[in-house]
A and B are shown apart, each in its own frame.
Chain A
Amino acid sequence: MKPPRFDYVRAHSLAEVTHTLAAEGGDARVIAGGQTLVPMLSMRLARPKVLIDIMGLSELARIEATENGLRVGAAVRQATLLAHPDLARLQPLLAAALPWVGHAQTRNRGTVCGSIAHADPSAELPLVLVALGGEVHLAKRWRQRSVAAEAFFLGLMSTARADDEFVAGVTFSAARAGQGFAFREFGRRHGDFAITACAAVVDERSTRLAVGGVADRPVARTWENLDGTALEDALNDFAYSLDARDDLHASARLRRDLVRKLGAATIAEARRCRV
């Protein structure tokens, strides 16, 4: 398993990235930590003509607490975000979910934005972004735009990013007083992709649950605060609406059951964590 041939550009400015993307179109791919793209190259699932390495761009390596939330640049590694001293205060859901992303050895290289750009339906970071209602910042030549998380993920590894754009950063909304968060995942081994993962965000009025690993993208629902059988019914409807499929790892039925049980447990935990 060896990658096919490609040219390699070590970008020294954002303009170099966007100009190369504009010139090469769909034949160029941005590479950051490489933890997803390199295996895809090795398995020849991706055959770009040019790779643009953005890890040298210090303007993309920033983690900033803005008024919209926590903005994470495209060159920020998962381990760096996890080690951020204020993460648990700024956004507890990220602090809870990041240890589930791959293994320590892959988090040391893999980037937050890389995982989001790849849009694996069972990956944790896209799920967290959808649960929080965050934004993806896309850059191309002369232009930037921001897309709401739920509009960014279109399906299995498919996103709203155009060929001449790249994910320059993401913003996770910041935690507000009165909110509670929880993350739970069911998989075969720690560090594997989730069979089903749940992220809950609750406050005094509403309950929001996002589910990964079941539909072809992370999906969220928001309800007024329900309890008892009303919550069970809502979770059941949600589970059926996700159109779960049987595959090698789990049956559709198990996945629906996980949405009901893991979903209820995640919501209960988030409610206990409300501050």
Chain B
Amino acid sequence: MPRLTSDARHKVSFTLNGHAVTAEAEPRLLLTDFLRHVVGVTGTHVGCEHGVCGACTIQIDGQPARACLTLAVSIEGADVRTVEALAPRDAEPGRLSVLQEAFRRHHALQCGFCTAGILMSLDAFLRDNRDPSEAEVREYLSGHLCRCTGYVPIVAATLDAARELRDGGFNV
């Protein structure tokens, strides 16, 4: 049976934002550190490192998950999306997704530390809930801590983005 030894680095192959990636990780490496330090994608932030703050939230196989509660070796074969994937790829530089643009309009971020995680959660949330209520947005946000905004502008931006997407906006 495949046993990955503790003192060596092992190949991990997965899909990151649509591209096939292979990189090496020790079994004990967290996915947060793997993405930031080994693969070199630093949009995912690290706050508490024990699952409480939500800053490290990414999407694994389409579902929001805490990167800091995931071992890098366990994502072999998985489809991982990080905040880098949100803005439309082939559009002109600086172009944001509907959700990101709504965040900008509503001042839904200040220091931005929590933002990458919140965007990845809400991106999946809006994909599955086209017409969410404020209560549903707030419940979903309960998995994230933001020390700056007081959440009001985040909720407003999310509801605004949902409206725009219903009216035919593309690319959450």
The reply to whether B64 and A108 contact each other, CB–CB distance below 8 Å, is: yes
Q: Determine whether the beta carbon of B1 is less than 8 Å from that of A11.
A: yes
Contact B50 A8 (CB under 8 A): no
Instruction: Say whether A127 faces chain B, with CB atoms less than 8 Å apart.
Output: no
Answer whether A189 and B69 are a contact pair too, CB < 8 Å, given A2-B33, A5-B27, A8-B4.
Answer: no
- B12 CB, nearest partner CB in chain A, Å: 11
Q: Could you say which residues of chain A place their CB within 8 Å of the CB of B51?
A: 35, 38-39, 106
Partner of A106, one of B4, B26, B66, B73: B66
Does B65 contact A108, Cβ atoms closer than 8 Å?
Answer: yes
Q: State whether B50 touches A42 (Cβ < 8 A).
A: yes
A48 to chain B, nearest CB (A): 10
Q: Decide yes or no whether B88 CB sits under 8 A from chain A.
A: no
Chain A positions within 8 Å of B70 at CB level: 34, 38, 109
Within 8 A of B (CB), among A1-53: 1-12, 16, 20, 31, 34-35, 38-39, 41-43, 49-51, 53
Asked whether any CB of chain B lies closer than 8 Å to the CB of A229, the reply is no
A3 neighbours in B (Cβ, 8 Å): 28, 30, 71
Complex partner residue of B2 from A10, A31, A109, CB under 8 angstroms: A10
> Counting CB contacts under 8 A, is B3 at the interface?
yes
Q: Does A123 reach chain B (CB closer than 8 Å)? A: no
Residues B142 and A43 in contact, CB atoms below 8 Å apart: no
**A189–B151 CA distance with the chains assembled, in angstroms:** 15
Contacts of A39 in B (CB 8 A): 50-51, 69
**A104 within 8 Å of B (CB atoms):** yes
Is B30 a contact partner of A104 (Cβ separation < 8 A)?
Answer: no
- B23 CB to nearest A CB, Å: 16
| Complex contact A42–B30 (CB within 8 A) | yes
In the docked arrangement, what's the CA distance between A240 and B3, Å?
50
B74 interfacial by beta-carbon distance below 8 Å: yes
Decide: B69 and A38 in contact? CB cutoff 8 A: yes
- The answer to whether residues A104 and B64 also contact, given A16-B1, A34-B70, A38-B70 and a CB cut-off of 8 A, is yes
Question: In the bound complex, do residue A38 and residue B30 qualify as a contact, i.e. CB atoms below 8 Å apart?
Answer: yes
Min distance, Cβ A193 to any Cβ of chain B, angstroms: 11
Contact B1 A9 (CB under 8 A): yes
Task: Take A1-B50, A53-B74 as given contacts and tell me if A7 and B140 are in contact as well, using a CB distance cutoff of 8 Å.
Answer: no
Interface centre among A8, A79, A104 (most CB of B within 10 A): A8
Give the B-binding residues of A (Cβ under 8 A): 1-12, 16, 20, 31, 34-35, 38-39, 41-43, 49-51, 53, 55, 79, 102-106, 108-109, 189-191
Could you pull out 24 A-B pairs where Cβ atoms are within 8 angstroms?
A3-B30, A5-B28, A7-B5, A8-B4, A8-B27, A9-B1, A10-B73, A16-B1, A20-B1, A42-B49, A42-B50, A43-B50, A51-B71, A103-B54, A103-B142, A104-B140, A105-B54, A105-B121, A105-B143, A106-B51, A106-B65, A106-B69, A109-B69, A190-B142
Known: A2-B28, A38-B51. 8 other contacts (CB 8 A): A3-B71, A8-B4, A9-B4, A20-B1, A39-B51, A42-B49, A109-B65, A109-B70
